[in-house]
């Protein structure tokens, strides 16, 4: 079977795209690693029109329900590995599965937390090492923890952890903590937080679970260790676009360059929406709007082709 349109990514942008392909009665499917994306990382969304306040999970459940109402299939647990041209169509290659053929594509794969790429990071993921304080802070009750990254997201992770952790070290590579001064002040007042600047993390150590974090003090050149029961990484985000490298044009950050009017990428027939694109602002309502725009453009593309 050849689809009219395949949506890659099942979160704010991709699910909205699914509502639109369903209503247009396009032969479509959503392929996604998991449903929800970043929205699942937030407890309260207070800026999505129609809801004074809603949890990210509830918002996604509602979007999913709406996609299912239009009988658009959502295939979960699917990781897209590459895309290639096949005559006028596209062939989507997935991990551990048969390739999928389609006339057009919407890429809505969002972004992922940046990694440190140091020894121990992969080994201890979900064994004391986490990228999401909102999800995991309660698991660290009474423990000493380290947060890597002293920007706003690192400080917010620290705020989440002050309710549970015993002591919190915030390790920042730079010589200065860059996050909001007012949040820094609030953290200082808890008496639980120690800021460590000029810290280049070298390794996460432990046996079954995280036990230590090792860093190079960039001033003294000494390698130092802290005994901790948890490590939270908060050093920014990268667009999930690696599978398109060399095929569609990406900017320096790895975002898919799109025509802002049509959401079309450098390859005709491939559209992008939401945080994976070079759209300037990253919010649920924007990702949803961009998902809708991308489908309307793809619909016109299919009529003309």
Is residue 42 a contact residue for ligand FAD (CB under 6 A)?
yes
Query: Which distant-in-sequence residues (6+ apart) come within 8 Å of 121 by Cβ?
Result: 115, 129, 204, 233
**What is the distance in angstroms between the CA of the first residue and the CA of the last residue of the chain?**
18
Nearer to ligand FAD by C-beta: 48 or 70? 48
Among 47, 152, 259, 305, binds ligand FAD (CB under 6 A): 47
- The single-letter DSSP state of residue 220 is T
Among 275, 293, 294, 301, binds ligand FAD (CB under 6 A): 275
d(CA 128, CA 106): 36
- Provide the minimum distance between the beta carbon of 287 and ligand FAD in the complex, in angstroms, as a whole number: 4
- Provide the minimum distance between the beta carbon of 202 and ligand FAD in the complex, in angstroms, as a whole number: 26
Is residue 7 a contact residue for ligand FAD (CB under 6 A)?
no
Inter-CA distances, 126 with 171, 180, 208, 218, 231, Å: 20, 28, 11, 29, 10
Angle subtended by helix axes 284-304 and 12-23, to nearest 10: 40
Is residue 14 a contact residue for ligand FAD (CB under 6 A)?
yes
**Residue owning tokens 């053929």:** 101
Question: Within its chain, how far is the Cα of 129 from the centroid?
Answer: 17
The residue whose Cβ lies closest to ligand FAD is 110
Reduce the DSSP state of residue 84 to 3 states and report it. Answer: strand
Among 285, 292, 296, 302, binds ligand FAD (CB under 6 A): 285
Nearer to ligand FAD by C-beta: 32 or 130? 32
Is residue 154 a contact residue for ligand FAD (CB under 6 A)?
no
Which span (28-36, 61-69, 186-194, 209-217) binds ligand FAD, by CB under 6 A? 28-36
Which residues make up the interface to ligand FAD (CB under 6 A)? 8-14, 31-34, 36-39, 41-42, 45, 47-48, 78-80, 108-111, 240, 243, 274-275, 282-285, 287
């Amino acid at each position: 079977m050849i689809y009219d349109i395949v949506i890659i990514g099942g979160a704010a942008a991709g699910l909205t795209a699914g509502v639109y392909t369903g209503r247009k009665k396009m032969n479509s499917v959503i392929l996604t690693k998991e449903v929800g994306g970043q929205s699942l990382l937030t407890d309260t969304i207070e800026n999505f029109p129609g809801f004074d306040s809603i949890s990210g999970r509830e918002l996604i459940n509602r979007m999913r329900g709406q996609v299912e109402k239009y009988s658009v299939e959502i295939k979960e647990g699917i990781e897209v590995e590459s895309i290639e041209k096949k005559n006028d169509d596209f062939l989507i290659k997935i991990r551990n599965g048969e390739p999928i053929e389609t006339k057009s594509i919407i890429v809505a794969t969002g972004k992922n937390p940046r990694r440190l790429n140091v020894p121990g990071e992969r080994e201890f993921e979900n064994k004391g090492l986490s990228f999401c304080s909102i999800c995991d802070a309660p698991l660290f009750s009474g423990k000493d923890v380290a947060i890597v990254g002293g920007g706003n997201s690192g400080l917010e992770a620290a705020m989440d952890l002050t309710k549970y952790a015993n002591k919190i070290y915030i390790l920042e590579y730079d010589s200065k903590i860059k996050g909001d001064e007012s949040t820094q002040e609030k953290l200082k007042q808890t008496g639980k937080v120690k800021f460590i600047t000029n810290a280049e993390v070298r390794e996460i150590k432990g046996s079954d679970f995280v036990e230590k974090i090792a860093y190079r003090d960039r001033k003294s050149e000494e390698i130092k260790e802290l005994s901790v029961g948890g490590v939270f990484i908060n050093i920014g985000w990268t667009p999930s676009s690696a599978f398109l490298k060399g095929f569609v044009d990406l900017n320096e950050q790895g975002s898919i360059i799109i025509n802002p009017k049509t959401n079309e990428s450098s390859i005709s027939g491939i559209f992008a929406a939401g945080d994976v694109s070079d759209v300037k602002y990253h919010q649920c309502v924007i990702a949803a709007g961009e998902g809708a725009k991308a489908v309307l453009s793809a619909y016109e593309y299919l009529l003309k082709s």
